[in-house]
């Protein structure tokens, strides 16, 4: 099992790798390898899968382990792999986590179970036992709770004090700058905070001291540039670049299934994927939405083609064929 050290640190943009599918909705391993290559050449240090943006909730447990194994093997140490091990059953979540550690994942991630409302005492038992099951592996906990508030600051502090491998926390909620600041102060910065929800709130939170953001893969290189600019005090340029891609992010996040379609369409436009297939049940966009997504995605492509933004052009598997 992997021991924690400075090489495990996550920083900057850690995008979610979508799950690519063939025409019959089977996992396309070759396409997944192309996505990993794309991430490696985009100037980021780590990726995460299979998460919400990977359609993890449509994958069997064996398929969840399959995509992590393929990613680890193909990355071959060139990029860190954060292996999501989500399951509402603690027993199965631990089984997934241990298998992902065995496969060579650098960090294990777990979403707080939110199918039904649970008191924090129940969540504490679930998360504590999970953390203790892989004590030598860094863990990132994600809390996405559309129906209520995320885990409390006191809860986070206590969980960290009792579990040294609780290293990262990803929250996805608006107007959370005061809470993020409170977490940093209460934990003395020992918990690396990541903002989700497509990176939509990143400009607000970077000055607070977040460690990074976890958006979709298709705009990861652009958001890494935004993150660097904002972190280095080039605020006007960071805002100008972020404003170029914000309409695409905002529109796609109106519905998680719409996000899958828009994300994969943008990866197709960038020459990384051959199709935008999502497993059913999937969002079927109307003609006006299809046209608008194409327009938004083209605006992202225009940014990538503008050399003044200093975003490294990418060579892709498909573009070489």
Please enumerate in sequence order all residues whose Cβ is within 8 A of that of 261, keeping only pairs 6 or more positions apart, or say none: 252, 276, 278, 282, 283, 285, 293
Please give the structure tokens belonging to residue 213: 């953001």
Is 268 flagged in the annotation as binding? no
* Nearest residue to 81 (alpha-carbon basis) of 58, 112, 50, 57: 50
Distance CA 121, CA 17 (A): 32
Distance CA 35, CA 237 (A): 28
Please enumerate in sequence order all residues whose Cβ is within 8 A of that of 269, keeping only pairs 6 or more positions apart, or say none: 294, 297, 298, 300, 301
Distance CA 303, CA 17 (A): 22
Peptide bond into 281 cis (omega under 30): yes
Distance CA 204, CA 201 (A): 6
Distance CA 131, CA 187 (A): 17
Contact 249, 219 (CB under 8 A): yes
Would you list which residues are annotated within the binding site?
Answer: 214
Would you list which residues are annotated within the binding site for pyruvate?
Answer: 214
């Amino acid at each position: 099992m992997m021991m924690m050290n400075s090489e495990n640190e996550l920083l900057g943009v850690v995008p979610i790798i979508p799950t690519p599918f063939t025409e019959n909705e089977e996992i396309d391993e070759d396409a997944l390898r192309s996505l990993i290559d794309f991430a490696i050449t985009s100037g980021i240090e780590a990726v995460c899968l299979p998460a919400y943006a990977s359609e993890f909730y449509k994958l069997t447990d064996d398929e969840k382990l399959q995509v992590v194994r393929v990613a680890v093997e193909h990355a071959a140490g060139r990029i860190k792999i954060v292996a999501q091990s989500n399951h509402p059953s603690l027993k199965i979540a631990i089984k997934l986590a241990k298998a992902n550690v065995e496969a060579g994942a650098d960090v294990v991630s777990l979403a707080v179970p939110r199918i039904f409302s649970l008191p924090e005492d129940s969540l504490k038992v679930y998360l504590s036992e999970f953390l203790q099951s892989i004590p030598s592996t860094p863990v990132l906990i994600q809390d996405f709770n559309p129906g209520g508030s995320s885990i409390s600051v006191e809860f986070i502090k206590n969980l960290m004090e009792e579990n040294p491998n609780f290293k990262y926390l990803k929250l996805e909620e608006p107007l959370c700058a005061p809470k993020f600041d409170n977490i940093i102060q209460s934990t003395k910065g020992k918990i690396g905070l990541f903002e989700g929800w497509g990176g939509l709130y990143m400009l607000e939170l970077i000055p607070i001291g977040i460690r990074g953001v976890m958006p979709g893969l298709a705009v990861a290189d652009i958001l890494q540039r935004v993150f660097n600019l904002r972190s280095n005090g080039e605020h006007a340029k960071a805002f100008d670049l972020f404003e170029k891609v914000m309409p695409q992010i905002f529109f796609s996040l109106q519905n998680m299934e719409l996000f899958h379609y828009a994300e994969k369409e943008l990866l197709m436009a960038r020459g990384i994927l051959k199709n935008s297939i999502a497993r059913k049940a999937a969002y079927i966009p109307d003609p006006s939405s299809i046209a608008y997504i194409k327009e938004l995605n083209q605006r992202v492509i225009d940014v990538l083609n503008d050399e003044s933004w200093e975003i490294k052009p990418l060579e892709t598997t498909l573009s070489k064929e």
